Amino acid sequence: MSTALAGSRWIKADLRARKGQAVLTVLAVAGIVAALITAATLLEEGTNPWRSLFARTDGAHVWLYTDDRPDVSLNGIDGVTRVAGPYRSAPVTVAQDGKKEPAALRAMPATPPGVAHPVVAEGRWLDPSQPDGVVVERSFAESLRLRVGAPFTIIALSGGRHTLYVRGIADSAEQGFYPQWTPGLAYVLPLMLDRIEPMLGRSEWVTGLRLADPDATQVVSQRVVVMLEDKLQRVYTWREVRAAMELDNRLLGTLLALFGAVGLVAAALALANAAGGRVLTQLRDLATLKSLGFTRGQVALLLLVEHGALGLLGVMAGAVAGWGVMVLMLGSTSVAPAPMLAIVGGTALAVLAAVGVPAWRGGRTPPIPDVPSGPPRGRLSRLARLALLVRLPPALVLGTRDAFTRRTPAFLTAFGLAVPMMMITIGLGVWATLDDFADHPEQVGQHASLYVRAGKVEPAEARRIAESDPGVAEVYPGTEVNALSPGEARSVRVRAIGASATPYPFPVVEGRMYGRPGEAVAGQGLLDLLGVEIGDRVRLTVGGTPLIVRIVGRNVEPDQDGEVLSVGLDSLSAKDAVPPEFYALALKPGADTAEVRGRLLAESGEGLEVQEVVNPADRLAVIRVIIVALIGVLALIGLANLLTASALGLRDHAFDLAVLKAMGLTPRQVMATLVTATGLLVVLGVGAGAAAGMSVVTSLIDLQGDTSGVGAGIGRAPSALTLTIAVLTAVGTALAVALIPARRAARAQVPVTSR
């Protein structure tokens, strides 16, 4: 108790004396912890809305689309507990605010079913007394800015317009969110659907299967494929829905986790360095404390408490900040307590471990305060000798010598700067990759920037209009179909575009482009899904027709988690390929997308549907915000290291400075000596960090691309100019920071006799 009182006095006084450094430590640790908590929350499935949606709607595990009402008993399949539907579903277009969006109109009874029932979030469910009512799936409604009571104008395949009214907005776990998952979903009463789309041949039947064991999904859906054979259009399972809902969160989470984990190492190093440096500068005070009666353990505890408390304060602040950000972004239930506690506990342990060693060493200080505790001296380092050889100015030589007199702190400083710099380089690489997406969409498979659907005009006419536009360089007819793979219990997307001989310029990064019918390129996601390699032959069925292709290359595929097979239109059978579903328009360089779109619409008398392609970089724009924030935190860590190094250098050489001055060095030269001592370590650390970052950045981004299905080949290193600016900024800032104490020291009157 008594030592606690005495110790707290000492801690308070010491913290008061180095407020800036203390605040920096707290902020750096807080930033890292916040990043880690955000990462864990984004990666934790709890944030994936799928789980709660699935539970609330008593969702179905398998969804199958057939072109006719299934006539077999799906209920009898082993493992299926209940069946939702079959419901009739018709493709329509929703016209809203001048935009046209694809939608699936689903017939549902007025009494919601027991399985896979949409949960009404606003308004009410369908009511037979209001047959013109429609309930819209929530993400679709949000995208269209629909509210309860709003008119809902739809255009049927026949071209007929119908106006319904939104009676309710409902959540569903049946498909991913609009617009990532199209078409949008809306529910009407069966009678209304019959009126809008009387032709049964233009609609399909949707059935949901709820299983006793979600792990049996694969088996059950394979069985369904076998049972329904030709009738089956496509199948997907809860896994795809879940993946669709979490896609962006995962990418952000991975990025944050990488930065957070490496940042934690850097922060622990910075903390160890700061505590160690502080202990070194205080050896005399610590010896005095021991002469007053502090025991070795008490001094160690004192240091552990002081430096550990700063770290722990940072951990707490970071936890609160991370939790706050997540609650603001994702709602109060998003943060799972277990990983949060694990992160807080883990980082707290890391903090204590980092300050433990210097604290223990501080405790071992001999209690005789008059023993000088200067650095090892006498030898000129090899570098300094080299500097002498090439006749550098004396300040540089002395500074070079000073930089390495204490090896461990010198290493810690350089390393402590290298790690943040490496991460900053990687961050800049991610930035460059996004820029590359935006500047060269053709390199991520977006050679065409407009997609035209025939709509009201004849397909041939649509093609003519598109080809005659002055801004259009090339028109590729195309169709997207769903294909079933035997053995795989789900549908994959087949994109047929252009001709096999004159293919659409997919960015093929492995193998080669397809050159004739029967050849295909695939995204990484598809290769992983089917377990095939380049050169393998795959057999799929498209609406009952077999499609046998040989995969000859891998392309960068940003859509559908990379689970897309791309072929020439002539590889598809005529029934699927004619007429083409859309025309992909590659524009001439410099042509404005919006302008061309406007012209096409005007030319066709609003008969065409023209869609602009969404660049993946736009969807990932939030990554840039995260990169800026992380660079800020990393810079704080670097700064903390720097302050330590500079304080230590000053302490070690304060007495030498007096001697140097006595020998005739000008204050400016003394200052240069000090700045050189710190600056050399900075240059080494920053240089090494940037080099390490450059060497790993492309492969890291490619690795991420590979796991997310887009595939390797997207990673870009930051440009030489960006990197040079980053390095110069880092070194410049570091030198400026080192300059202030150096100036003060150079001007101070240090008595030579004070030791």
Partner 1 sequence: MTSVIKTVNLVKIYQDGALPVPAVRGVDLQVEPGEFVAVMGPSGSGKSTLVHLLGGLDTRTSGEIWLDGKRVDTLSESAWAVLRRRRIGFVFQFFNLVANMTVGDNVELPALLAGASPKVARERRESLLAALNLTDRADAAPAQLSGGEQQRVALARALANQPALLLADEPTGNLDSRNTRDVLRLLGTVHKEGQTIVMVTHDARVASLADRVVSLFDGEIVDDGRIARRRTGTAGEVIDLR
Site residues (CB under 8 A) for partner 1? Answer: 1-3, 5-6, 9-10, 13-14, 16-17, 284-285, 287-298, 366-370, 754-755
Of the pair 365, 413, the CB lying nearest partner 1 is at 365
Q: Name the token pair of 424.
A: 């900053």
Nearest to 189 by CA among 87, 267, 117: 87
For partner 1, which is the closer residue by CB, 97 or 370? 370
For residue 662, the minimal CB distance to partner 1 (Å) is: 19
DSSP letters spanning 655-673: HHHHHHHHHT--HHHHHHH
Instruction: Give start and end residues of each alpha helix (H) in 585-666.
Output: 593-603, 616-619, 621-663
How far, in Å, CA of 78 to CA of 64, rounded? 16
301 vs 674: CA distance, rounded Å: 33
Supply the minimum distance, in Å, between the C-beta of residue 284 and partner 1. 7
Q: Which residues contact 713 (CB under 8 A, 6 or more apart)?
A: 507, 509, 510, 556, 702, 705
Cβ proximity to partner 1, 3 vs 254, nearer residue = 3
Residue 260 Cβ vs partner 1, minimum distance, rounded to whole Å:
34
Cβ 21 to partner 1 shortest distance, Å: 13
User: Least separation, in Å, of the C-beta of 378 and partner 1?
Assistant: 15
Q: Give the nearer residue to partner 1 in terms of CB position, either 363 or 693.
A: 363
Which residues are CB-neighbours of 317 under 8 A, at least 6 positions away? Answer: 26, 27, 29, 30, 33
Task: Give the distance from CA 295 to its chain's centroid.
Answer: 50
- Which C-beta is closer to partner 1: that of 71 or that of 370? 370
649 CB-contact burial (10 Å; exposed 0-12 / middle 13-18 / buried 19+): buried
Q: Shortest approach of partner 1 to residue 366 CB, angstroms?
A: 7
Rounded CA-CA distance 655/651 in Å is 8
Q: What is the smallest separation between the CB atom of 285 and partner 1, expressed in angstroms?
A: 5
In whole angstroms, the minimum distance from the beta carbon of 368 to partner 1 comes to 5
Nearer residue to partner 1 within complex by CB, 367 or 687: 367
Shortest reach from residue 289's CB to partner 1, in Å: 7
Work out the number of other CB atoms within 10 angstroms of the CB of residue 694. 18
Distances, alpha carbon 517 to alpha carbons 402, 484, 497, 498, in Å: 71, 19, 12, 11
Beta bridge partners of 186: 105, 136
Phi-psi region of 696 (alpha: psi -120 to 50; beta: other; left: phi over 0): alpha
Beta strands in 44-171 (DSSP E): 62-66, 80-96, 99-107, 119-123, 133-137, 151-155, 161-171
Compare residues 99 and 755 and give the one whose CB is closer to partner 1: 755
Residue 660 in tokens: 């140097």
Instruction: Give the up-direction half-sphere exposure of residue 462: CA atoms within 13 A in the CB hemisphere.
Output: 26
Would you say 275 or 540 has its CB closer to partner 1? 275
- Residue 502 token pair: 């004159």
DSSP 152: E
**Terminal alpha carbon distance of the chain:** 35
Q: Measured between alpha carbons, how far is residue 224 from residues 60, 210, 489, 494, 689 in Å?
A: 14, 13, 9, 21, 55
**How near is the Cβ of 751 to partner 1 at its closest, in Å?**
10
Q: Which is nearer to partner 1, 345 or 366 (CB)?
A: 366
d(CA 417, CA 734): 10
Least CB distance to partner 1 at residue 670 (A): 21
CA nearest neighbour of 206 among 161, 178, 169, 175: 175
Q: How far is the CB of 294 from partner 1 (least distance, A)?
A: 6
Comparison of 219 and 305: residue with beta carbon closer to partner 1: 305
Q: How far apart are CA 492 and CA 526, in angstroms?
A: 8
Tokens of 452: 């035209």
Count the neighbouring beta carbons within 10 Å of the beta carbon of residue 667.
15
Question: CA–CA distance from 107 to each of 71, 144, 184, 197, 208 (Å)?
Answer: 18, 21, 14, 11, 14
Of the pair 550, 755, the CB lying nearest partner 1 is at 755
Nearer to partner 1, 4 or 199 (CB): 4
Q: Identify which of residues 5 and 663 has a Cβ nearer to partner 1 in the complex.
A: 5
Least distance between partner 1 and beta carbon 10 (Å): 7
Of 293 and 345, nearer to partner 1 (C-beta) is 293
SS3 label, residue 372:
coil
Those residues with Cβ within 8 angstroms of residue 192's Cβ, 6 or more apart along the chain or in another chain = 107, 131, 132, 134, 164
8 A C-beta contact, residue 507 and residue 713? yes
The label of the residue with tokens 């007053």 reads 292
**Minimum distance from residue 444 beta carbon to partner 1 (Å):** 57
Identify which of residues 297 and 546 has a Cβ nearer to partner 1 in the complex.
297
296 vs 619, beta carbon nearer partner 1: 296
Q: Of 5 and 594, which has the nearer Cβ to partner 1? A: 5
The Cα 659–Cα 646 span in angstroms is: 19
Minimum distance from residue 9 beta carbon to partner 1 (Å): 5
How many whole angstroms separate alpha carbon 406 and alpha carbon 680? 14
**Both tokens of residue 40?**
């864990």
Nearest residue to 566 via CA among 638, 648, 481, 453: 481
Q: Compute the least distance from the CB of residue 654 to partner 1, in Å.
A: 13
Kind of pairing between the strands at 161-171 and 151-155: antiparallel
**What phi and psi values does residue 175 have, to the nearest 5 degrees?**
-150, 170
Give the amino acid at 202: R
Structure-derived torsion over alpha carbons of residues 71, 77, 82, 87, reported in degrees to the nearest 10: -30
C-beta of 14 vs 68, nearer to partner 1: 14
CB of 641 to partner 1, least distance (A): 22
In the bound complex, what is the minimum distance in angstroms from residue 351's beta carbon to partner 1? Answer: 22
